[in-house]
Amino acid sequence: MAEISVNIVGSEPVLMPMASRVGDAVRQLLSGKQQRKTIAALANGEAVDLHRELTEDTELTPIQTDSELGLEILRHSTSHIMAQAVRDLFGTDVKVAIGPAIENGFYYDFYREEPFSPEDFEKIEERMAQISSDGLPFTRKTMDRQEAITHFAALGEKYKVELLEELEDEQVSLYQQGDFIDLCRGPHLPDTSWVKDFKLLRVAGAYWRGDEHKDVLQRIYGTVFFDEKSLKKYLNNLEELKKRDHRKLGRELQLFTSRDLIGPGLILWQPKGAQLRRLIEDYWKDEHYKHGYELLYTPHIARQDLWQTSGHLDFYSENMYAPMEIDEVKYQLKPMNCPFHIGIFKTDKRSYREFPIRWAELGTVYRYERAGALHGLMRVRGFTQDDAHIFCREDQLEEEIFHILNLNLHILATFGFSEYDIYLSTRPEKSVGSDDIWEKSTAALKQALEKKGLGYEIDPGEGVFYGPKIDIKIKDQLGRSWQCSTIQVDFNLPQRFDMTYTGTDNSEHRPIMIHRALMGSLERFVGILIEHYAGAFPLWFSPVQARILNITDDQLEYCEKIYNQLRKAGIRVEKDLRNEKLNYKIREAQMMKIPFMLIVGEKEKENGTLTVRLRDGKNLPPMKIVEFVEKVLSESAEGRGL
RNA sequence: GCUCACGUAGCUCAGGUGGUAGAGCGCAUCCUUGGUAAGGAUGAGGUCACCGGUUCAAAUCCGGUCGUGAGCUCCA
């Protein structure tokens, strides 16, 4: 009998009979503990099941339960089990579409007339548990593509037929567990008994193949892990996310709201939210001034002609609010600030000596976002960009980009974001500008990134049509990524607006324009901050820094005195002098996540002090009012990076 | 925009099968003046998102509109 040589990567090969299974090799080559963790393997680089027969000399890399790939296989297999359960329960009224593993779980798309209900979820989960305890093996078979089409056509599985018709391979693989057969590339778990710690999470509509002209399917999402602990951890994490949800905290902390009467995607900033925002804006303005920017203000609407010249009407009009007519002239709300800044540029004849010109504006723009895309502060229709435009010569580009990166990362770090992923997007297929300018600008962006010592990834062809760009995605406390910053070179608008400057040679040249935003949108950035800090903001931008809590009415006068003194010193302080017990007042202040609670009773009144309770429940020893002022001011300044 | 779900006092929510509404928190008044996460009593708040239909009768059933949520899609 023929033999083949099999080894686990990094160890000695052994000879095994031809057509031994991967699982046999694993049992022979791995220790008990390693064996039990192994659910599949890479055989000469191809991911295969443990049941797969080996027909040539093979190097195996085990895929184990503690790897990403292992989880992916678990999730994929679980989606099959869910499909089987759904089919068992609802019969052929249900058509199966696709069911991949995704980040943190899996889904399966079904076509069914009736919507799935929460009660259905319970039934499906019960049935899945049954399938799991049956320990059905996942078996793979290959089939001629035409044969597979006939097979699925006979079952009325039109989505599978459609998939098969588009496949290029003449042999396709099918996986079966119990009586459920699905078209699938695999690999899968050895059997269904591995799938114990799962949960179905939600159902949502999804189009067949993501195309809104095609059938609407019901997508059931779920998650699964190899052990109960990990599942619980994940579910707890979901709970934590809910607790941090900026919409919930925004309401509780009285930061912002939106009302039906105002309109969807339009935010009302309540006093505390407005205070928070003002602190962010003031800091932003100060930093920009220090870094050589000048600040601009521009209007919210402009004549339609402006948007014609800028090209927004041609490229962006579906995102713009409809025109309004004033004195027989059409005006439109601005979706971007750039044309206004160009308008200011063109008020004078510019010289190369003025460059770089750095203009910044907290400009509020309005964009039509599809109703289904709106989400709290994260996706709105009216928002304020922390926008800036830099006009410079080509030879200044790299230095300007470097300058922007410095300011950018400095500001993000001050807000507590020091982990990020950076992407450099290069020329797309449809674009304006010469090869030469694209090359030079892309090189300038790269060099600036490298000079700053920043790692980055290249997104080939993902640049905007008018120039290359750098995007920075920050990571929050929960490890989620948010794209906030963007730095974009623009060869288009300077030309459209015929912007020029006089160079050293006394002739006219075209300036380079850079658009950039650091926080992106104030609204969204505040949303991210709320979730990042779970509403417990650092002292320097806490809308309320301290709240005075008296113990009895005997300290009312003294409390007023403290309040006035702190307020004059520039401390954001509130007083809670209601006739309530201390416990009650502490609870409320705690829930408002106020950094300092100032407790004032007879002792403090007599000594001219106050007792500070911190957000974490600890107390500081009693201190004089001036000491507290000093403490808050110095800690705030430090937090603000002063 | 599409699919599904939801829309009851300022907030969080109860209100089988239709008979004009309830709780807790908050708010007001009173009692209580109490040192580190909810003291007590009384009271005021709702044309049950809006419009229309079915019915003797609708928060409850049906249709539409608006809004919210989860996804899909979109996001130079």
Query: DSSP states of A94-131 as a string?
Result: SEE----EETTEEEEEEE-SSPP-HHHHHHHHHHHHHH
DSSP state of A621: P
Cα A55 → chain centroid: 45
The CA distance from A628 to A621, in Å, is 11
DSSP state of A138: P
Q: For residue A551, which nucleotide's C1' is closest to its Cα? A: B35
DSSP state of A354: G
Name the residue type at position A341: H
Strand B and A200 CB separated by under 7 Å:
no
Q: For residue A466, which nucleotide's C1' is closest to its Cα? A: B76
Q: For residue A614, which nucleotide's C1' is closest to its Cα? A: B36
Closest CA to A243 of A479, A473, A533: A533
Residue nearest to nucleotide B39 (CA to C1'): A581
The CA distance from A40 to A50, in Å, is 5
Query: Quick check: is A338 catalytic?
Result: yes
Cα A309 → chain centroid: 34
Query: Quick check: is A515 catalytic?
Result: yes
Closest CA to A555 of A605, A594, A603: A605
Strand B and A258 CB separated by under 7 Å:
yes
Q: For residue A263, which nucleotide's C1' is closest to its Cα? A: B67
For residue A112, the model assigns a pLDDT of 83
For residue A201, the model assigns a pLDDT of 85
- Residue A611: which region, alpha, beta or left (left: phi > 0; alpha: psi -120 to 50)? beta
Q: Which nucleotides of B are covered by protein (CB under 7 A)?
A: 1-5, 7, 11-12, 31-39, 66-74, 76
The CA distance from A475 to A470, in Å, is 16
Question: Is residue A38 within 8 Å of A72, Cβ to Cβ?
Answer: no
pLDDT along chain A (642 residues), means of 10: 81 84 86 86 87 86 89 93 90 85 88 76 88 91 88 87 84 89 88 90 82 81 90 85 91 90 90 96 96 96 94 88 92 95 96 96 94 91 96 94 96 94 90 90 94 92 90 90 93 94 95 95 95 95 96 94 96 94 94 96 95 94 96 96 80
Q: Which residues contact A184 (CB under 8 A, 6 or more apart)?
A: A76, A80, A173, A174, A175
Please give the torsion angle defined by the CA atoms of residues A613, A619, A625 and A630, in that order, rounded to the nearest 10 degrees.
-90
Task: Give strand pairing partners of A198.
Answer: A224
Query: Quick check: is A385 catalytic?
Result: yes
Which residue is listed with tokens 């060099």?
A447
For residue A118, the model assigns a pLDDT of 66
Residue among A52, A75, A87, A367 flagged as catalytic: A367
Which residue is listed with tokens 């579910």?
A235
Question: Is residue A561 within 8 Å of A598, Cβ to Cβ?
Answer: no
In Å, what is the separation between the CA of A588 and the C1' of B29?
22
Strand B and A609 CB separated by under 7 Å:
no
Query: Quick check: is A532 catalytic?
Result: no
In Å, what is the separation between the CA of A411 and the C1' of B36?
37
The CA distance from A598 to A620, in Å, is 10
Strand B and A375 CB separated by under 7 Å:
yes
The CA distance from A111 to A83, in Å, is 11
The CA distance from A194 to A137, in Å, is 10
Strand B and A593 CB separated by under 7 Å:
no
Question: Is residue A636 within 8 Å of A595, Cβ to Cβ?
Answer: no
In Å, what is the separation between the CA of A580 and the C1' of B29?
15
The CA distance from A86 to A91, in Å, is 8
Question: Is residue A156 within 8 Å of A182, Cβ to Cβ?
Answer: no
Query: Quick check: is A34 catalytic?
Result: no
For residue A170, the model assigns a pLDDT of 83
In Å, what is the separation between the CA of A533 and the C1' of B43?
40
Radius of gyration of chain A (CA): 31
Q: Which residues contact A572 (CB under 8 A, 6 or more apart)?
A: A275, A542, A543, A544, A545, A546
Q: Which residues contact A497 (CB under 8 A, 6 or more apart)?
A: A309, A310, A339, A342, A346
Name the residue type at position A397: L
Q: What are phi and psi of A52, to 5 degrees?
A: -65, 135
